[in-house]
């Protein structure tokens, strides 16, 4: 049964005026004198047949009745096919037939609901059995919907993580498509966990490895922050000079190194055994380093003498810190973590950018 409404480009409830307007437009397009396509004459005759039916009130009512009846029959047949396909997918799942579910998830002839159900069950079965080759096949199969392919790639990472094979996940970040995408997300989460654990050895290995640049940057910054927390300025200096890490991390390390040196000099300005002039010069030099490092957090603490640690800072140093803080806040912000010098952001303001974004968690440094 021909669908006259679709042929004329009108809705089933279109008024007679709209049908007449559509007929005139198509008649000009399909007339054999103007349209020299091979099927122009046949389509012109079909147009006349469609208009003759839809322009007559009685003929249109009979056509709508037959059309609705056929639609109900078609819908019923489709529902029956979907139910039958779902039952087959369930039996394959019970039998543990991964290959059967994989094949069913690929075929376009399988009803959509049943096909997607087979895809999801194939992923679940592959994950439960540790079938990494099967999951890799799903992740690379374009017949599977994107969400299913991403889910399969994520399950591969979960299996490797449970087995302690973090290196495989890190190396997968170089792969194209969903494999690389999901491996990067999972790797950034691992890097964030390593930083929270203070595992600088693993972080440095990732920062200097042949992995995705975003992962190398996140791991390198995590290592710098971990060293800074331990006040290990020597390690930060070594990381700053390490040619195996990307320039963004070296610049970040330089900023933290400058920040650490500045804190030490401001701390020295509180030594009351030294002349006041020497203390002030030492403290101002430290503030200058903190200003260049962009360490707003510590400058604010020094300016306001927050906590017992800064209670003995000389007034001139405190005022210098307040002025430096005002300059930083009034200046335009440079992109974080870019360049090699002078773009450092405060360790208390810099989030685990990539990792926090990927994991959806708020991580405090």
pLDDT digits (tens, 9 = 90+) for 49-87: 889 988 888 888 888 888 776 654 445 555 677 788 888
Q: Which pLDDT belongs to residue 308?
A: 64
- 340 domain residue, yes or no: yes
DSSP 364: -
- 37 domain residue, yes or no: no
Q: Which pLDDT belongs to residue 221?
A: 86
- 86 domain residue, yes or no: no
What is the extent of the structural domain holding 305?
166-359
| Number of alpha carbons in the 13 Å side-chain half-sphere of residue 78 | 10
**230 close to 273: Cβ distance less than 8 angstroms:** no
- 355 domain residue, yes or no: yes
Degrees to nearest 5, angle at CA 154 with 104 and 96: 40
- 125 domain residue, yes or no: no
pLDDT tens-digit readout, 175-216: 988 999 999 999 999 999 988 888 888 888 888 888 999 999
Residues of the chain with pLDDT under 50: 72-74, 335-365
Our measurement of the distance from residue 327's CA atom to the centroid of its chain's CA atoms, rounded to an integer in Å, reads 35
**216 close to 209: Cβ distance less than 8 angstroms:** yes
- 304 domain residue, yes or no: yes
**200 close to 235: Cβ distance less than 8 angstroms:** yes
CA distance 195 to 353: 13
Closest to 222 measured CA to CA, from 238, 234, 241, 236: 236
- 272 domain residue, yes or no: yes
Our measurement of the distance from residue 114's CA atom to the centroid of its chain's CA atoms, rounded to an integer in Å, reads 28
Number of domains the chain contains: 1
CA distance 250 to 243: 8
Percentages (nearest 5) of helix, strand, coil residues in the chain: 70, 0, 30
CA distance 97 to 189: 33
Concatenating the DSSP letter of every residue in 230-297 gives TT-HHHHHHHHT-TTS-HHHHHHHHHHHHHHHHHHHHHHTT-TTS-HHHHHHHHHHHHHHHHHHT-HH
- 205 domain residue, yes or no: yes
Q: Which pLDDT belongs to residue 71?
A: 56
């Amino acid at each position: 049964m021909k669908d006259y409404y679709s042929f004329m480009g009108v809705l089933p409830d279109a008024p007679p005026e709209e049908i007449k307007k559509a007929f005139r437009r198509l008649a000009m397009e399909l007339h054999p004198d103007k349209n020299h396509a091979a099927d122009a004459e046949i389509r012109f005759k079909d147009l006349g047949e469609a208009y003759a039916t839809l322009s007559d009130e009685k003929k249109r009512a009979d056509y709508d009745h037959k059309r609705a009846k056929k639609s109900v029959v078609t819908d019923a047949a489709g529902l029956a096919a979907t139910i039958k396909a779902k039952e087959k997918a369930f039996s394959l799942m019970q039998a543990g037939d991964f290959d059967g579910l994989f094949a069913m998830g690929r075929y376009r002839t399988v009803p959509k609901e049943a096909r997607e159900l087979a895809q999801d069950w194939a992923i679940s079965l592959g994950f439960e059995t540790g079938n990494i080759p099967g999951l890799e096949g799903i992740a690379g199969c374009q017949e599977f919907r994107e969400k299913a392919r991403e889910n399969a790639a994520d399950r591969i990472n979960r299996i490797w993580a449970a087995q302690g094979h973090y290196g495989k996940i890190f190396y997968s970040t170089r792969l194209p498509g969903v494999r690389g995408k999901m491996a990067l997300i999972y790797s950034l989460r691992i890097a964030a966990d390593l930083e929270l654990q203070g595992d600088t050895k693993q972080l440095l290995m990732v920062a200097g490895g042949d992995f995705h640049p975003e992962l190398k940057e996140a791991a390198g910054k995590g290592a710098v922050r971990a060293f800074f927390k331990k006040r290990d300025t020597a390690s930060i200096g070594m990381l700053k000079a390490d040619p195996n890490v990307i320039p963004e991390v070296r610049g970040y390390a330089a900023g933290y190194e400058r920040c650490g040196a500045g804190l030490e000099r401001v701390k020295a300005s509180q030594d009351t055994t030294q002349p006041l002039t020497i203390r002030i010069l030492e403290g101002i030099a430290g503030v200058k380093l903190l200003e260049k490092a962009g360490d707003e957090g510590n400058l604010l603490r020094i300016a306001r003498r927050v906590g017992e640690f800064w209670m003995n800072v000389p007034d001139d140093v405190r005022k210098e810190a307040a002025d430096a803080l005002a300059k930083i806040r009034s200046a335009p912000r440079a992109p974080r973590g870019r360049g090699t010098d002078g773009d450092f952001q405060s360790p208390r303001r810099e989030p685990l950018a990539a990792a926090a974004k990927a994991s959806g968690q708020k991580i405090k440094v």
